[in-house]
Structure 1
Amino acid sequence: MLAMLLPGCGSDSVNPTPYQQTIAQGQQAIEQAISDPEHPVAAISVAMLKGGNVVWQQAFGVSSVPDQTRATTQTRFNIGSVSKVIAALAAVILQDRGLISLDTPIIQYLPTFTMLSPEYAQITTRHLLSHSSGLPGTNARNLFTFAPIPGYAADTQAELANTHLKHLPGELAVYCNDGFTMIEQIVLALTGQSYASFVEANILAPLQMTNSSYLTSVPSGGSFAYPYANGTQYQEFVNAYATGGLSSTPGDMMNLAAMFLGAGV
């Protein structure tokens, strides 16, 4: 929505506040969304990066509907499948360290991985990350829960052992969550660390993404945007960490974006 407004905003040298018009229009659109009685939205949080600087960061609405707690820029939202970017980053970190090659079959790193279709032995890490592995799709068991349930990735691997490929590895690309879940198993096999621990130590901490985490347990602190439906508020746990389990803020995600824009620095 905001990107559509950017071309008409002028340059920084003309406007002392970068993207002032975009920010004003964005604020207006967000306020309208939050106040829409037919399609109510509890909270929205936004950040915009210009070069290496965050030129706009703001939260709107409430993180807790019953308590009417105001959302802040530190309020964490589950970022869903944007979490896959972190999984891909974890994989190329392993490659940079010489632990894997993206085009080597994953059975070399995860020998316990098996499927009913013999072609499973051709699946590479690149196939997993590009949705072209041929894995069936998504293990829905304990994917979304109201309490943390460990072992989702191992359960998914066990499930795949009893299934067939739906196409040959590399033949075509079809959106596939299970491929990213297998990245969790590869990280564990090669580093001895759980995926969540590896990401925390090697990505979140170095990038100072201090308001980002995987909900591997009931959080004892931090501010979260809580889903609210039919008069009930709850905290949702996404146990598929690599494919959709990161809770973060737009500000933290701008740290990640700045690293990509800086060619890895």
Structure 2
Amino acid sequence: MKVLASCWLKTMLLRFLGYGVLIAVFAALIHVYVVYPLYVKKLPYFANAFRAGFDVECRAAVPTGLDDLLRQISLPFFSLDGQLVFIDSKGHVGRCGVNTGVAPNAEIFRFASMTKVLTGVAMLEVAESLSISLNTPVVSYFPELSLEKVQDERVLRITLRHLLNHSSGLGGPFGSDNMIKQGESPWCPDNLAAMETIRLAGEPGTNHLYSNVAYCLLGEVISRVSGVEYQKYIEQNYLSQYPSLQFIQGEFLPTEPAYDFSNDYRFDESYVSWLDFHAIAPAAGLMGKPEEFARLVWHLYRDNPDVLNAANLQQCREKGLDRCYSNTFVIHEGDNGIKVGVQQGYLPGASSLVAISSRGEVLVWTAPGAPLEAKYRDRMAGEVVKLLLNQHE
């Protein structure tokens, strides 16, 4: 009798534990689905990204861990395709990409805001060659403005330097930066009289907000002081040795990748029918082969090392902002004194990043997809900075 009672008790305990485990697992699954529904829905994609990771290959000498940027961040959280180009201080080129043996990497890619690097350097070179001070008020280049009609007097204090480092106050919530808003026509560069009525988000030099319209204005300044339309000026002075580099005209080219819009919740491929590519050209208009863009940036930095040595944006740092720009780059400085400048890019279905180090190295990453969440853009940038800061240590 005691034996039967003991067996019954053990059986009940095992059932209780078994049911408890099942309930706990079921509750955990419900919790995961409720809290992370997007990740649950993406499980098949993550499985494909894991398999694609085995097809990542690197050619020539690249830094240790460069391929892991594709496997651990780019493939799972951006797109099942992507590539990295690395050029060392001596000009040697290495490349990592996904080689499935079925569809090779497309040649032409939309660089988005990486274009700002070229516009920024062009502005610096024009200013130097023509002895233009970066502290010159921007409105002085636009005689069509009636300064007496400017409703926000802070507009009169915006300088070229403020445009370069995104401290003009033109970003923010007041509609000043409408370069990529569907249904709105940008006021830059064809309706600069709109500057009379815009309201800034803060005092120029103190309000650090990322701004596409700031770089549109820089493009227009380049046009006016050089006497050559911005795109032609860039093509003549910078792109002649890089045949694939060109400005986006609109529709996708056959040589572009199949952009993945699954992580884009506001845009799809139809953006090419309404985005004003002429207006956005100085801020996000370049496209071409990532390797050629990396070579261009490598040569630009060799000739303009001061792009990483602009004055420290102390007030921005004191406010704890993590996107303090200096001559278009976000500058990071390691304990070893090495500096790394980063500029990220995004257009619907396309993510990118360019980084340069004070050692003279250049890294370019492109992926035909948007991030699953914004934090993965920051994670990619952080890992790139860490990799470049720790080179040769």
TM-score, length-scaled by structure 1:
0.70
Cα deviation digits, residues 103-149 of structure 1 (max 9, x gap): 1112222223464212322211111111111224476656378xxxx
After TM superposition, the structure 1 stretch with the greater mean CA deviation from structure 2, 133-142 or 184-193, is 133-142
Structure 2 segments unaligned to the other structure (5+ residues): 1-59, 263-267, 306-393
Match of 1:216 in 2: 249
Structure 2 CA distance for aligned equivalents of residues 40 and 174 of structure 1: 25
SS, match of residue 70 in structure 1: coil
Alpha-carbon RMSD: 3.5
Match of 1:110 in 2: 142
Match of 2:282 in 1: 242
Contact 2:171 2:210 in 1 (8 A): no
Q: Does 1:129 align with 2:164?
A: yes
Count residues with an aligned counterpart: 230
Query: Given the alignment, which residue of 184, 194, 212 partners 2:229?
Result: 194
Cα deviation digits, residues 148-190 of structure 1 (max 9, x gap): xx97632563543321122222233222222111112212222
Counterpart of 1:255, as a letter, is R
| Equivalences for residues 27-176 of structure 1 within 5 A | 27=67, 30=70, 41-60=79-98, 69-72=103-106, 75-98=107-130, 100-113=132-145, 115-137=150-172, 143=180, 153-155=188-190, 157-176=192-211
Structure 1 CA distance for aligned equivalents of residues 153 and 271 of structure 2: 41
Structure 1 CA distance for aligned equivalents of residues 118 and 222 of structure 2: 12
Contact 2:187 2:194 in 1 (8 A): no
Contact 2:111 2:286 in 1 (8 A): yes
Structure 2 CA distance for aligned equivalents of residues 163 and 197 of structure 1: 29
Q: 1:182 to 1:126 in 2, by over 3 A?
A: same
SS, match of residue 87 in structure 2: strand
Counterpart of 2:120, as a letter, is A
Q: 1:141 to 1:151 in 2, by over 3 A?
A: closer
- Using CA pairs below 8 Å that are at least 6 residues apart, which structure has the higher relative contact order? 1
Counterpart of 1:121, as a letter, is L
The structure with more radius of gyration = 2
Q: 1:110 to 1:99 in 2, by over 3 A?
A: farther
SS, match of residue 203 in structure 2: coil
Deviation at 1:47, TM superposition (A): 1.0
Contact 2:247 2:285 in 1 (8 A): yes
SS, match of residue 41 in structure 1: coil
Q: Does 1:229 align with 2:261?
A: yes
Contact 1:144 1:238 in 2 (8 A): no
After TM superposition, the structure 1 stretch with the greater mean CA deviation from structure 2, 116-125 or 238-247, is 238-247
Cα deviation digits, residues 209-237 of structure 1 (max 9, x gap): 32221113557x6722242336x866846
TM-score, length-scaled by structure 2:
0.49
Structure 1 segments unaligned to the other structure (5+ residues): 1-16, 63-67
Contact 2:151 2:199 in 1 (8 A): yes
> Normalized per residue, which structure has more helix?
2
